[in-house]
Structure 1
Amino acid sequence: MDASEIPVSINNDLEKRIADAFLIFDHQGNKTIDIREVGTVIRYLGCAPTEQEINEIIAATEMEDASGQIHLSKFLPYIVSLLNERKMEPAAPEKLLEAFKLLDIDGKGVLTKEYVTKIMRDEGEPFTQEELDEMLQVAVDVHSGLINYEHYLNHLMVYL
Protein backbone atom coordinates (compact mmCIF):
# COMPACT_ATOMS: atom_id res chain seq x y z
CA MET A 1 0.00 0.00 0.00
CA ASP A 2 1.32 3.43 -0.98
CA ALA A 3 1.76 5.87 1.94
CA SER A 4 -0.79 8.26 0.44
CA GLU A 5 -3.42 5.48 0.55
CA ILE A 6 -3.17 4.90 4.31
CA PRO A 7 -6.39 6.28 5.79
CA VAL A 8 -6.31 9.08 8.36
CA SER A 9 -9.40 9.85 10.39
CA ILE A 10 -9.77 13.44 11.63
CA ASN A 11 -12.50 13.75 14.24
CA ASN A 12 -12.15 17.11 15.98
CA ASP A 13 -10.58 20.58 15.89
CA LEU A 14 -7.38 19.50 17.65
CA GLU A 15 -6.79 16.69 15.16
CA LYS A 16 -7.50 19.07 12.28
CA ARG A 17 -5.02 21.62 13.64
CA ILE A 18 -2.32 18.96 14.01
CA ALA A 19 -3.01 17.53 10.55
CA ASP A 20 -2.96 20.99 8.97
CA ALA A 21 0.43 21.76 10.57
CA PHE A 22 1.80 18.37 9.52
CA LEU A 23 0.63 18.72 5.93
CA ILE A 24 2.39 22.07 5.55
CA PHE A 25 5.63 20.09 5.71
CA ASP A 26 4.42 17.19 3.54
CA HIS A 27 6.49 18.07 0.48
CA GLN A 28 5.64 14.87 -1.42
CA GLY A 29 1.87 15.09 -0.95
CA ASN A 30 1.64 11.56 0.47
CA LYS A 31 0.82 12.30 4.14
CA THR A 32 4.46 11.89 5.21
CA ILE A 33 7.17 14.18 6.47
CA ASP A 34 10.89 13.73 6.87
CA ILE A 35 11.90 13.07 10.48
CA ARG A 36 13.96 16.27 10.36
CA GLU A 37 10.68 18.25 10.16
CA VAL A 38 9.20 16.86 13.40
CA GLY A 39 10.58 19.59 15.66
CA THR A 40 9.38 22.27 13.27
CA VAL A 41 5.85 20.82 13.16
CA ILE A 42 5.72 20.52 16.95
CA ARG A 43 6.94 24.08 17.44
CA TYR A 44 4.47 25.29 14.80
CA LEU A 45 1.75 23.87 17.06
CA GLY A 46 2.97 26.17 19.85
CA CYS A 47 4.88 23.54 21.80
CA ALA A 48 8.35 23.85 23.29
CA PRO A 49 9.90 20.38 23.03
CA THR A 50 13.39 19.41 24.09
CA GLU A 51 15.59 17.53 21.64
CA GLN A 52 14.99 14.39 23.72
CA GLU A 53 11.21 14.80 23.36
CA ILE A 54 11.57 15.25 19.60
CA ASN A 55 13.67 12.08 19.43
CA GLU A 56 11.01 10.22 21.43
CA ILE A 57 8.31 11.38 19.01
CA ILE A 58 10.42 10.22 16.06
CA ALA A 59 11.08 6.84 17.67
CA ALA A 60 7.37 6.34 18.38
CA THR A 61 6.07 7.46 14.99
CA GLU A 62 8.70 6.70 12.34
CA MET A 63 7.46 4.37 9.60
CA GLU A 64 8.94 0.87 9.90
CA ASP A 65 9.22 0.32 6.15
CA ALA A 66 10.40 3.81 5.16
CA SER A 67 13.23 4.91 7.40
CA GLY A 68 13.39 8.64 7.85
CA GLN A 69 9.68 9.22 7.18
CA ILE A 70 6.71 9.74 9.48
CA HIS A 71 3.15 9.15 8.34
CA LEU A 72 0.28 11.29 9.56
CA SER A 73 -1.65 8.16 10.64
CA LYS A 74 0.95 7.42 13.37
CA PHE A 75 1.87 11.01 14.15
CA LEU A 76 -1.66 12.30 14.72
CA PRO A 77 -2.81 10.04 17.59
CA TYR A 78 0.57 10.26 19.30
CA ILE A 79 0.63 14.07 19.26
CA VAL A 80 -3.04 14.30 20.29
CA SER A 81 -2.13 12.23 23.34
CA LEU A 82 0.87 14.43 24.19
CA LEU A 83 -1.12 17.63 23.82
CA ASN A 84 -4.01 16.27 25.90
CA GLU A 85 -1.47 15.44 28.63
CA ARG A 86 -0.26 19.05 28.37
CA LYS A 87 3.26 17.95 27.45
CA MET A 88 5.78 20.31 25.86
CA GLU A 89 3.88 23.46 26.80
CA PRO A 90 5.94 26.64 26.61
CA ALA A 91 6.88 28.39 29.82
CA ALA A 92 4.38 30.89 31.21
CA PRO A 93 5.14 34.56 30.41
CA GLU A 94 5.84 35.21 34.10
CA LYS A 95 8.49 32.46 34.14
CA LEU A 96 10.11 33.82 30.98
CA LEU A 97 10.22 37.32 32.46
CA GLU A 98 11.74 35.92 35.66
CA ALA A 99 14.42 34.12 33.60
CA PHE A 100 15.28 37.27 31.63
CA LYS A 101 15.53 39.27 34.87
CA LEU A 102 17.99 36.72 36.26
CA LEU A 103 20.16 37.27 33.18
CA ASP A 104 19.87 41.06 33.54
CA ILE A 105 22.43 41.49 36.31
CA ASP A 106 22.38 45.30 36.04
CA GLY A 107 18.56 45.48 36.11
CA LYS A 108 18.40 47.73 33.04
CA GLY A 109 15.61 45.85 31.26
CA VAL A 110 17.81 45.13 28.24
CA LEU A 111 20.35 42.51 27.22
CA THR A 112 22.93 42.58 24.46
CA LYS A 113 22.53 40.42 21.41
CA GLU A 114 25.97 38.92 22.03
CA TYR A 115 25.17 37.96 25.63
CA VAL A 116 21.85 36.33 24.70
CA THR A 117 23.52 34.51 21.80
CA LYS A 118 26.18 33.11 24.13
CA ILE A 119 23.60 31.99 26.71
CA MET A 120 21.35 30.38 24.09
CA ARG A 121 24.27 28.45 22.59
CA ASP A 122 26.12 27.46 25.75
CA GLU A 123 23.53 26.94 28.50
CA GLY A 124 20.74 24.41 28.88
CA GLU A 125 19.16 23.07 25.71
CA PRO A 126 21.20 24.78 22.97
CA PHE A 127 19.41 26.59 20.16
CA THR A 128 20.28 25.81 16.57
CA GLN A 129 21.66 28.70 14.52
CA GLU A 130 18.36 28.88 12.62
CA GLU A 131 16.34 29.06 15.85
CA LEU A 132 18.68 31.69 17.23
CA ASP A 133 18.48 33.78 14.06
CA GLU A 134 14.67 33.65 14.11
CA MET A 135 14.54 34.68 17.75
CA LEU A 136 17.04 37.53 17.37
CA GLN A 137 15.28 38.85 14.29
CA VAL A 138 12.25 39.56 16.46
CA ALA A 139 13.97 40.27 19.79
CA VAL A 140 16.67 42.79 18.83
CA ASP A 141 15.61 46.42 18.60
CA VAL A 142 16.75 47.74 15.23
CA HIS A 143 17.61 51.18 16.64
CA SER A 144 19.55 50.27 19.78
CA GLY A 145 20.77 46.79 18.85
CA LEU A 146 19.67 45.62 22.31
CA ILE A 147 16.98 43.22 23.48
CA ASN A 148 14.33 44.89 25.62
CA TYR A 149 13.06 41.61 27.00
CA GLU A 150 9.71 42.90 28.31
CA HIS A 151 8.94 44.27 24.85
CA TYR A 152 10.08 40.99 23.29
CA LEU A 153 7.87 38.92 25.63
CA ASN A 154 4.88 41.16 24.90
CA HIS A 155 5.52 40.60 21.19
CA LEU A 156 5.65 36.83 21.72
CA MET A 157 2.39 36.80 23.69
CA VAL A 158 0.55 38.27 20.71
CA TYR A 159 1.46 35.16 18.67
CA LEU A 160 0.81 32.48 21.32
Structure 2
Amino acid sequence: MAESKPSAEAMVSDVHKKIKAAFEAFDYETNNTVDVREIGTIIYSLGCFPSQTDLHDFIAEVEEDHTGYIHLDKFLPAMAKILLEHKYPPIPEDILLQAFEVLDKEKKGYLEPEELANYMTQEGELFTQEEMDEMLTALADHEKDLIYYKDILSQLTIDPEL
Protein backbone atom coordinates (compact mmCIF):
# COMPACT_ATOMS: atom_id res chain seq x y z
CA MET A 1 0.00 0.00 0.00
CA ALA A 2 1.42 3.38 -1.02
CA GLU A 3 2.01 5.97 1.66
CA SER A 4 -0.45 8.81 1.40
CA LYS A 5 0.98 12.30 1.33
CA PRO A 6 -0.11 14.58 4.14
CA SER A 7 -2.72 17.13 3.18
CA ALA A 8 -1.70 20.73 2.66
CA GLU A 9 -3.54 21.62 5.88
CA ALA A 10 -1.62 18.98 7.85
CA MET A 11 1.69 20.24 6.41
CA VAL A 12 0.87 23.83 7.35
CA SER A 13 -0.17 22.69 10.82
CA ASP A 14 3.12 20.80 11.29
CA VAL A 15 5.12 23.78 10.05
CA HIS A 16 3.26 26.08 12.45
CA LYS A 17 3.98 23.71 15.37
CA LYS A 18 7.71 23.63 14.54
CA ILE A 19 7.90 27.40 14.21
CA LYS A 20 5.99 27.96 17.44
CA ALA A 21 8.22 25.52 19.35
CA ALA A 22 11.40 27.16 18.03
CA PHE A 23 10.05 30.63 18.83
CA GLU A 24 8.89 29.68 22.33
CA ALA A 25 12.36 28.37 23.20
CA PHE A 26 13.52 32.01 23.06
CA ASP A 27 10.39 33.62 24.52
CA TYR A 28 11.96 34.02 27.95
CA GLU A 29 9.13 36.11 29.36
CA THR A 30 6.40 33.88 27.87
CA ASN A 31 4.67 36.88 26.32
CA ASN A 32 4.82 35.72 22.67
CA THR A 33 7.76 38.00 21.89
CA VAL A 34 11.46 37.42 21.36
CA ASP A 35 14.41 39.73 21.20
CA VAL A 36 15.21 40.58 17.59
CA ARG A 37 18.80 39.33 18.16
CA GLU A 38 17.46 35.77 18.59
CA ILE A 39 15.70 35.63 15.22
CA GLY A 40 18.73 34.37 13.27
CA THR A 41 19.19 31.49 15.71
CA ILE A 42 15.50 30.62 15.52
CA ILE A 43 15.55 30.66 11.71
CA TYR A 44 18.73 28.54 11.58
CA SER A 45 17.20 26.04 14.02
CA LEU A 46 14.34 25.61 11.55
CA GLY A 47 16.77 24.58 8.80
CA CYS A 48 16.85 27.87 6.92
CA PHE A 49 20.09 29.63 6.18
CA PRO A 50 19.45 33.11 4.78
CA SER A 51 22.24 35.51 3.89
CA GLN A 52 22.75 38.36 6.34
CA THR A 53 20.96 40.67 3.90
CA ASP A 54 17.97 38.31 3.67
CA LEU A 55 17.94 37.98 7.46
CA HIS A 56 17.93 41.76 7.92
CA ASP A 57 15.13 42.10 5.35
CA PHE A 58 13.10 39.43 7.16
CA ILE A 59 13.62 41.15 10.52
CA ALA A 60 12.56 44.50 9.03
CA GLU A 61 9.37 42.81 7.81
CA VAL A 62 8.40 41.29 11.18
CA GLU A 63 9.86 43.60 13.86
CA GLU A 64 7.39 45.53 16.00
CA ASP A 65 7.93 49.22 15.14
CA HIS A 66 11.71 49.11 15.73
CA THR A 67 11.23 48.07 19.36
CA GLY A 68 13.86 45.33 19.23
CA TYR A 69 11.19 42.66 19.70
CA ILE A 70 9.31 40.37 17.37
CA HIS A 71 5.84 39.07 18.15
CA LEU A 72 4.81 35.51 17.32
CA ASP A 73 1.74 36.76 15.42
CA LYS A 74 3.98 38.46 12.85
CA PHE A 75 6.77 35.88 12.87
CA LEU A 76 4.59 32.78 12.40
CA PRO A 77 2.99 33.57 9.01
CA ALA A 78 6.19 35.06 7.56
CA MET A 79 8.30 32.09 8.68
CA ALA A 80 5.69 29.56 7.54
CA LYS A 81 5.79 31.07 4.05
CA ILE A 82 9.58 30.73 3.99
CA LEU A 83 9.48 27.10 5.13
CA LEU A 84 6.67 26.08 2.80
CA GLU A 85 8.41 27.71 -0.17
CA HIS A 86 11.76 26.11 0.81
CA LYS A 87 13.45 29.49 0.80
CA TYR A 88 16.96 29.67 2.29
CA PRO A 89 17.78 25.95 1.94
CA PRO A 90 20.46 24.32 4.08
CA ILE A 91 23.92 23.80 2.66
CA PRO A 92 24.55 20.16 1.71
CA GLU A 93 26.99 18.33 3.98
CA ASP A 94 29.49 17.58 1.18
CA ILE A 95 29.72 21.28 0.23
CA LEU A 96 30.22 22.24 3.88
CA LEU A 97 32.99 19.63 4.22
CA GLN A 98 34.72 21.04 1.14
CA ALA A 99 34.59 24.51 2.67
CA PHE A 100 36.22 23.30 5.90
CA GLU A 101 38.87 21.42 3.91
CA VAL A 102 39.76 24.61 2.03
CA LEU A 103 40.28 26.37 5.36
CA ASP A 104 42.32 23.44 6.72
CA LYS A 105 45.34 24.13 4.49
CA GLU A 106 47.55 21.61 6.33
CA LYS A 107 44.91 18.83 6.10
CA LYS A 108 44.95 18.22 9.87
CA GLY A 109 41.26 17.31 10.08
CA TYR A 110 40.56 20.15 12.52
CA LEU A 111 40.67 23.91 12.88
CA GLU A 112 41.77 25.83 15.92
CA PRO A 113 39.08 28.13 17.34
CA GLU A 114 41.18 31.26 16.66
CA GLU A 115 41.68 30.13 13.07
CA LEU A 116 37.96 29.67 12.46
CA ALA A 117 37.16 32.93 14.28
CA ASN A 118 39.57 34.83 12.01
CA TYR A 119 37.91 33.45 8.87
CA MET A 120 34.39 34.05 10.15
CA THR A 121 34.95 37.60 11.40
CA GLN A 122 37.17 38.91 8.60
CA GLU A 123 35.92 37.39 5.33
CA GLY A 124 32.58 36.93 3.58
CA GLU A 125 29.44 37.61 5.62
CA LEU A 126 31.03 38.67 8.88
CA PHE A 127 30.03 37.15 12.20
CA THR A 128 29.94 39.31 15.31
CA GLN A 129 32.16 38.34 18.25
CA GLU A 130 29.04 37.28 20.17
CA GLU A 131 27.95 34.98 17.31
CA MET A 132 31.48 33.60 17.08
CA ASP A 133 31.67 32.90 20.83
CA GLU A 134 28.32 31.11 20.67
CA MET A 135 29.44 29.00 17.72
CA LEU A 136 32.79 28.07 19.25
CA THR A 137 31.12 27.09 22.51
CA ALA A 138 28.80 24.77 20.61
CA LEU A 139 31.34 23.29 18.18
CA ALA A 140 34.75 23.08 19.83
CA ASP A 141 36.02 19.90 21.46
CA HIS A 142 36.35 21.30 24.97
CA GLU A 143 39.09 18.90 26.10
CA LYS A 144 41.41 19.65 23.19
CA ASP A 145 40.05 23.11 22.27
CA LEU A 146 39.91 22.16 18.59
CA ILE A 147 37.13 21.97 16.03
CA TYR A 148 37.03 18.56 14.39
CA TYR A 149 34.89 19.60 11.46
CA LYS A 150 34.01 16.11 10.16
CA ASP A 151 32.50 15.33 13.56
CA ILE A 152 30.30 18.44 13.60
CA LEU A 153 28.95 18.44 10.05
CA SER A 154 25.70 16.82 11.15
CA GLN A 155 25.19 19.65 13.68
CA LEU A 156 25.61 22.23 10.93
CA THR A 157 23.34 20.61 8.39
CA ILE A 158 19.69 19.78 8.73
CA ASP A 159 17.62 17.19 6.93
CA PRO A 160 15.69 19.25 4.40
CA GLU A 161 12.51 17.23 5.02
CA LEU A 162 10.00 19.13 7.16
The bucket for the TM-score relative to the shorter chain is 0.7 to 0.9
| Secondary structure of 1:22 counterpart | helix
Once the two structures are TM-superposed, the CA of residue 13 in structure 1 deviates from its matched residue by 1.0
Aligned match of 1:126: 126
Relative contact order higher in (CA < 8 Å, ≥ 6 apart): 2
Asked whether the 8 Å contact 1:27–1:33 carries over to 2, the reply is yes
- For these two proteins, the number of residue pairs brought into alignment is 148
Structure 2 distance, partners of 1:96, 1:41, is: 21
1:69 aligns with 2:69: yes
TM-score by length of 1: 0.76
Q: Distance in 2 between matches of 1:90 and 1:30?
A: 30
Secondary structure at 2:86 match in 1: coil
Are the structure 2 counterparts of residues 143 and 83 from structure 1 closer, same or farther at C-alpha, using a change threshold of 3 Å?
same
Moved more, 84-93 or 41-50: 41-50
Query: How much does 1:77 deviate?
Result: 1.1
Distance 2:35 2:152 in 1: 32
Q: Which residue is 1:103 aligned to? A: 103
CA 1:111/1:32 → structure 2, altered by over 3 Å: closer, same or farther?
Answer: closer
Offset of residue 68 of structure 1: 3.2
Q: Distance in 1 between matches of 2:39 and 2:146?
A: 32
- 1:32-56 deviations in Å (ceiling 9; x for gaps): 2232332232123232233222211
Secondary structure (helix, strand or coil) at the match of 1:12 reads helix
Q: Distance in 2 between matches of 1:39 and 1:137?
A: 17
Q: Residue type of the partner of 1:81?
A: K
TM normalised by structure 2 equals 0.75
Q: Is the 8 A contact 1:138 1:152 kept in 2?
A: no
- CA RMSD in angstroms comes to 2.5
Per mean C-alpha deviation after superposition, the further-off stretch among 145-154 and 90-99 is 145-154
By how many angstroms is 1:101 displaced? 1.0
- CA shift in 2, pair 1:140/1:61, >3 Å: closer
Report SS of the residue matched to 2:132: helix
Q: Percent identity over the alignment?
A: 42
Q: Report the alpha carbon displacement of residue 157 of structure 1 after superposing the two structures with TM.
A: 6.2
Q: CA deviation at 1:94?
A: 0.4
Q: CA, structure 1 residues 140+38, in 2 after alignment: closer, same or farther (shift >3 Å)?
A: closer
Mind listing any 5+ residue stretches in structure 1 that lack a counterpart? 1-10
Q: Which residue of 2 aligns with 1:21?
A: 22
Residue matched to 2:59: 58
Structure 2 CA distance for aligned equivalents of residues 71 and 115 of structure 1: 37
Q: Return 5+ residue gaps in structure 2 as ranges.
A: 1-11
